[in-house]
Amino acid sequence: MDRRIKASRDQEKRLARKVGGRPTVASGAGWAVKNDVRNAKWSIECKTTASTRFSLTHADLVKAEKNALLDMRQMAFAVEIQGRNWIVISEENFLRFMELEADD
């Protein structure tokens, strides 16, 4: 198996365990394209690179958001760069989390 494919699958499995979800089978194949990891509330698109940089485009975010909305979930975008995951969410979700934190 190509090492990039293995790294991508490993990222999806690790993240799915951490968020109490599961990897989406054949997430990039067929007509029903879905994000890579799902749990009850979130639909997460995953990308991984061994490089020191990753290009995240508006089109990537809009596609992931559309897939999440079709699945009636919130969207997050996970980018693993050199072994560390970064999670990108919308400003609306970020502000909602800030409000919840302030209520505690």
The pLDDT value given to residue 13: 95
pTM greater than 0.85 (yes/no): yes
Tens-digit pLDDT profile for residues 55-83: 999 999 999 999 999 999 999 999 999 98
- Give the closest residue to 89 by CA, choosing from 41, 48, 51, 52: 41
Q: Cα-flanking dihedrals φ and ψ of residue 78, to 5°?
A: -100, 125
Instruction: For the chain, list the strands marked E by DSSP.
Output: 22-23, 37-38, 42-49, 74-81, 84-88
Residue 5: exposure state from Cβ atoms within 10 A (0-12, 13-18, ≥19): exposed
Tell me how far apart the alpha carbons of residues 45 and 4 are, in angstroms, rounded to a whole number.
16
Q: Are 16 and 23 in contact (CB under 8 A)?
A: yes
Cβ neighbours for 68, distance < 8 A, ≥ 6 positions apart: 35, 42, 43, 74, 75
The pLDDT value given to residue 58: 97
